[in-house]
Structure 1
């Protein structure tokens, strides 16, 4: 499974269920800009995989920085600066990886 997400709170709950030992074999998380920037959604996803202890198994990569069909509008005034208000992960997560390379590597394996 290769989910691409905006990594905001509702999607993080679903991803958390997928990462916490369910029946899904998550190979990669890619993030995109949504209510907050792609950099922030990537940081949220990195924190999430570390929180669930799968940081060595599930790589995280940044996808689209901007929407393909419309102008990007930051909504951090609604969803908080991180897009995950009230969630504070104390560890500093690892660096995200290059999306295209990761997808190609996974597809070839």
Structure 2
């Protein structure tokens, strides 16, 4: 299982500001996700769909659960980098837990 901190609103598609300011945050999260996937020794099948189950444990009740998935794009990219696959094979499944500070993501990767 991959565990990461809860992603910030800055990764949301609705985040305001210049793209350059957002790109450093995006790159950091992509690198964290790749490192976490490598550390967890996640594997993927050579072909077919790959299920990526994400359990959101938000730090509080603020935020819009509909947008939580948007924050995960750099995380998907980092996991794909670690697996050396195209993230178009990913089938994301989202679960939402009750808030628990400081918040986290719990991610499982497996064949469909």
Structure with the largest fraction of strand: 2
TM normalised by structure 2 equals 0.36
TM normalised by structure 1 equals 0.37
Q: Say which structure, 1 or 2, has more relative contact order (CA 8 Å, 6+ apart).
A: 2
